Structure 1
């Protein structure tokens, strides 16, 4: 198995998506989506990991996902 592969199935085919979510309290009440994340997912098995968009970017995220 490649050392840059999905930890669940071993696939090397990954994708990314950006998502926004509400927090708690007033942001939830008013549906203010102030939490932004990048989701890295395996296109083979669907295993996903969320990364804070403000803390990580680009290829660094794929490196974290593929270990």
Structure 2
């Protein structure tokens, strides 16, 4: 049976946060943060991955983070 967990440390707990970032060109110049991401991170070692929040829900990205 394959054990699943963080790819860096094997930890089995993760949390999520949402972040917003600027793009390029005028949005960067005017600090318009229109790019939104979900950050999934291991609570043991802090390893993180970014996922586009427009295409994924939090529960789906946590499953993907652990390789389900």
Question: Which residue in 2 is equivalent to 1:2?
Answer: 3
Q: What does 1:1-40 correspond to in 2, within 5 Å?
A: 2-3=3-4, 5-40=5-40
What is the TM-score normalised by the length of structure 2? 0.92
Distance in 2 separating the partners of 1:8 and 1:44:
10
Aligned residues: 66
Secondary structure in 1 matching 2:60: helix
Question: Which residue in 1 is equivalent to 2:51?
Answer: 51
Structure 1: give runs of 5+ residues left out of the alignment: none
Q: CA deviation at 1:54?
A: 0.1
Q: CA deviation at 1:2?
A: 2.6
Q: CA RMSD in A?
A: 1.1
Q: CA deviation at 1:62?
A: 0.5
Q: Following TM superposition, where does structure 1 have runs of at least 4 consecutive aligned residues deviating by more than 4 angstroms? A: none
Structure 2: give runs of 5+ residues left out of the alignment: none
What is the TM-score normalised by the length of structure 1? 0.93
Q: CA deviation at 1:14?
A: 0.6
